[in-house]
Amino acid sequence: MQNGGMAPNDAEYEQFPRGRIVYNMKTEKFMLLADRCILKKRNLVKKIMKEMQLPPTITECGTDEHYRCYRCLGSEI
Cα–Cα dist 50/39, whole Å: 15
* 18: Cα separation from own chain's centroid: 4
Cα–Cα dist 29/18, whole Å: 20
* 31: Cα separation from own chain's centroid: 10
What pLDDT shows up at residue 46?
94
* 51: Cα separation from own chain's centroid: 13
Cα–Cα dist 37/16, whole Å: 9
pTM of the prediction?
A: 0.71
What pLDDT shows up at residue 17?
67
Q: Where are the domains of the chain?
A: 16-67
Walking along the chain (77 residues) 10 residues at a time, the average pLDDT comes out as: 77 74 96 89 93 95 76 58
What pLDDT shows up at residue 77?
45
What pLDDT shows up at residue 47?
92
